[in-house]
């Protein structure tokens, strides 16, 4: 049984000058508890696709079902983490983290305690009452992660959440996110342009091509790597093999588009 399924999603952006076809015939399904990645060069429609799955953007054509129900019925089951943290600078970390429940009117004393607990677990106990400006990039992204997880979403959408971080912080956060998601048995869709990150974190990789955004090829991540933490996975021989295959495919894609 598929948890999330996309059927022939198509999206156009209209403007006075004309229109761009951002997505063409995207169909795939994600089983419950699995982690998939959408990999592709920038501009291939990854953010657009994720916004559509999140229900923020209405696709021009096609439909999406979440647990066999149309998307509109299940908004609060989805957590969305953006490319940057977008913490509100005028709210404290605690208030930032509990903004979801506030909007959904489920903010309670117990929930606040849960938020504090989660912030402590993730190593942010010292900054609970600070404002985002005083936090490092990694800390801010961790706070954004807590904000996404606090509403206990069944489906997690991650839009290049580590791309603005330095390499060391990025590796640490990959491990953290991966173990958290495994512990809570979340279903996740990660968007990235980083081949290594896609392989290290996911079960399945959808390679996308641009103009229009389309799924070009699907890679299954070997079972040996799936069960390792992202950091350990990067050292595995099969990681390197898959990396090379994806790399070649991306290069082939690039030269194809360059000729055209």
Q: Which residue has the tokens 């106990």?
A: 125
* Minimum CB–partner distance for residue 17 and ligand ADP (Å): 10
Site string (40-59) toward another protein, x via CB under 8 A: -----------x--xxx---
Among 224, 218, 147, 215, residue whose Cα is nearest residue 10: 215
Nearest to 208 by CA among 177, 142, 254, 162: 254
Which of 133, 168, 258, 260 binds another protein (CB under 8 A)? It is 133
222 touches, from another protein, Mg ion, ligand ADP, none (C-beta below 5 to 8 Å by class) = none
Q: 48-87 mask for ligand ADP (x: CB under 6 A)?
A: x---------------------------------------
Which DSSP category does 221 fall into? P
Between 47 and 202, CB nearer to Mg ion: 47
Six token digits for residue 254: 């690039």
Radius of gyration of the chain (CA): 19
Residue 67 contacts another protein per CB under 8 A: no
Output the smallest distance, CB 156 to another protein, in A.
11
* 152 φψ region: left (φ > 0), alpha (ψ -120 to 50), beta (else): left
DSSP state of 73: G
- The reply on whether position 15 binds another protein by CB under 8 A is no
Distance CA 26, CA 11 (A): 10
Q: Which two tokens stand for residue 50?
A: 């994720």
Which of 29, 42, 136, 256 is in the footprint of ligand ADP by CB under 6 A?
Answer: 42
The piece of 36-44, 100-108, 182-190, 241-249 that touches ligand ADP (CB under 6 A) is 36-44
What span, in angstroms and rounded, lies between the C-alpha atoms of 203 and 179?
A: 14
Report 78-107 residues binding another protein (CB under 8 A).
Answer: 78-80, 82, 84, 86, 88-90, 99-100, 102-104
Q: Is 46 in the site for ligand ADP (CB under 6 A)?
A: yes
88 binds, among ligand ADP, Mg ion, another protein, none (CB under 5 to 8 A by kind): another protein
Site for ligand ADP in 3-22 (CB under 6 A): 13, 20, 22
Cα(225)–Cα(9) distance, integer angstroms: 30
Burial of 78 (0-12, 13-18, 19+ CB in 10 A): buried
Residue 91 or 226: which CB sits closer to another protein?
Answer: 91
**Minimal distance, residue 211 CB to Mg ion, in Å:** 15
In sequence order, the β-bridge partners of residue 28 are 6
Q: How far apart are CA 183 and CA 226, in angstroms?
A: 14
Residue 43 binds ligand ADP (CB under 6 A): yes
As a whole number of angstroms, the distance between CA 151 and CA 153 comes to 6
Task: Summarize as ranges the residues that interact with another protein (CB under 8 A).
Answer: 51, 54-56, 75-76, 78-80, 82, 84, 86, 88-90, 99-100, 102-104, 131, 133, 147, 151
Task: Summarize as ranges the residues that interact with ligand ADP (CB under 6 A).
Answer: 13, 20, 22, 42-48
């Amino acid at each position: 049984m598929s948890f999330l399924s996309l059927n022939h999603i198509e999206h156009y952006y209209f403007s006075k000058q004309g229109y761009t076809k951002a997505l063409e015939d995207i169909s795939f399904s994600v089983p419950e508890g699995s982690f998939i990645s959408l990999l592709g060069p920038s501009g291939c429609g990854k953010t657009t696709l994720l916004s559509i799955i999140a229900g923020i953007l209405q696709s021009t054509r096609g439909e999406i079902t979440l647990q066999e129900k149309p998307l509109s019925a299940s908004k609060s089951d989805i957590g969305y983490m953006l490319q940057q943290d977008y913490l509100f600078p005028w709210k404290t970390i605690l208030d930032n983290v509990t903004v979801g429940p506030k909007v959904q009117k489920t903010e309670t004393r117990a929930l606040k305690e849960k938020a504090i607990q989660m912030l402590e677990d993730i190593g942010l106990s010292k900054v609970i009452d600070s404002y985002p400006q005083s936090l490092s990039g990694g800390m801010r992204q961790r706070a954004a992660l807590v904000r996404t997880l606090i509403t206990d979403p069944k489906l997690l959408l991650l839009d290049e959440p580590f791309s603005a971080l330095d390499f060391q912080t990025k590796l640490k956060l990959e491990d953290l996110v991966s173990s958290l998601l495994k512990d809570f048995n979340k279903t996740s869709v990660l968007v990235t342009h980083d081949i290594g990150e896609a392989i290290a974190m996911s079960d399945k990789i959808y390679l996308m091509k641009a103009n229009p955004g389309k799924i070009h090829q699907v890679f299954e991540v070997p079972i040996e790597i799936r069960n390792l933490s992202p950091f350990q996975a990067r050292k595995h021989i099969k990681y390197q093999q898959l990396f090379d295959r994806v790399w070649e495919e991306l290069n082939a894609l690039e030269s194809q588009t360059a000729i055209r």
